[in-house]
Chains A and B, each alone.
Chain A
Amino acid sequence: MADKGYLPKEKIKEFVEALGKDAAVYAPSLEGDTIIFRQYSPDKEIALDRPANTPPKGAIYPQSETLFSFEFKKDQATPQKMDVELKADLDFPKAVVFGGRPCDARGFTVIDRVFINPEASDPYYERRRENTTIITKCCNGPYAGCFCVGVGGGPASREGSDVVMTEVDGGYYMEAVTDKGKAAMSLPMVQDGASYEAKAKEANDRATAAVRNPFAQSAEKVNAELFDSADFWDKVIAKCVSCGACTFLCPTCYCFNITDEQGIMTGERVRSWDSCMFQHFTLETSGHNPRPIKNKRFRNRVGHKFYYYPEKYEGAIACTGCGRCIRYCPVSVDISEIVGYLRDPKADPAQWAAEKKDAKN
């Protein structure tokens, strides 16, 4: 099996349909002006010319999924007794995520560290992840707000992907990263691609050079004192409207909520994405809320991605720089700007406090 291939553009649909023979293929579909990862069907139009509005995260980690269903059953002999019957279905079909970007694919590696580990693996995520082949399209250049090179990625990064494809000469040069990827490339539409390799490398280098790195001048570590300064967060986050667009569009956010959606005698335990930007995220049963205001909530989002997660996972950053949270933020909050302040070697919490206007006479 060759691990270098070439797929002409006109064969994309055919290729995806062939992949779909024994797997559910999630591909970026154009709906109006929006590109959404949907399970492919012939009526869908695959759009590869720009990154999708949403990352393909949901293909492996659905926005809401039933963990199990339950049914209460009355015991006829002893009416006081109620039995509960549980049903869980972990038999997930094979899947392919086609046409995500390198930042999207890297997003899965961030979630992997949390959901697939020897201490406590999440069977739902783990099985879907095992069953899924990720075929990624490298970026031709940057898009509004994105900064993958600043967080260890790049427009041709292979991390998390099984196959990477680069746009060259009216088609895509494909390279297998894993055996799963090789298997996908063994389909007959994939032609020999060795001759395109140099061109693809050139295109990828060009794209990499064009992406901004907001952290080029900054220290690796977050300034803990500034991070704990309420004045700092007051300043940078006053404009945030506390919606969940940034977290729901993020390829790495994995926090969830579990709810029982119950009828009278039957119901389901549902796991759904949650957003740390919502007030309810940390609301406790007692009524106490450790993060009652948006400053604290936003601090958590930045801290999780650039501070706590790297501390726990050997410096890995829980952000792939896809830029969606910046691009689609209602008020253009720029996380890279905020992290830039936090990593500034000359960062001075006192200065942020001082900038606050004193009480007027």
Chain B
Amino acid sequence: MSLFTTIRDKLLNVAQGVGEMLALLCETVYYFKEAPRNLASIFRQMSIIGIGTLPIAMLVALFVGMVLSVQTGSELANYGSQEAIGAIVGISMVKELGPVMTSLLVAGRIGSAMAAEVGAMQVYEEIDALKTLEINPVRYLAMPRLIACLFSVPALVAFATVVGILGGGIVADINPQIDVPFSVYYDNMVRALSYKEIFKGLLKAMIFGGIIAHVGCYVGFKTSGGARGIGESTTRSVVLSFLLIMVANYLLTRIMM
């Protein structure tokens, strides 16, 4: 096979994948109208995504906030401007670290589980069974997961951001190198943050949540080849989610500037 044929086939595969993903997204969004009678399923997914991920998301955010504070605060202290640490940690957590870090965590923990679950259903004929029962698999499986992620990920990000900021504040207060009282840290942070910035962070989180659910379901629906195929789908969903979150993060940051 020539290099040209290989490149052509790869490009065709990518174009086909993008087309299929867009078609699935349109179908999933179309079934949003069926959400009221799928509330139980949506709440179940929200519980898995939100409550299940909350402890680890908060723990990670706490340490990220602490590390950010200790590293940046020490540097700022060299120039005597350590009081700005509240604003720096606040803006970093709200605009970037909170949404991106939490979304990557959810993609690794929940997106892969979604791909594995839907993939197993595909491999073990459960999706075919749904079709013969005249139940649309996109409405039954993808729609509740997408809606749940759209709401759960911003909620998780909000909690994680607060915990991260608190962690940063505690370190700034107790670390003798930085030595910024919590009240000063808090005042600086509040002055630097606006509702608009918070809204932008949560909007990013919502879009990242949508990416995670959509990729998990798409990869799940495309699974074939038994246990090995399920394993490959799990990996593929994580890689694709990470990639799309990073690309979307750049584009959203650029648009929202």
A binds B: no
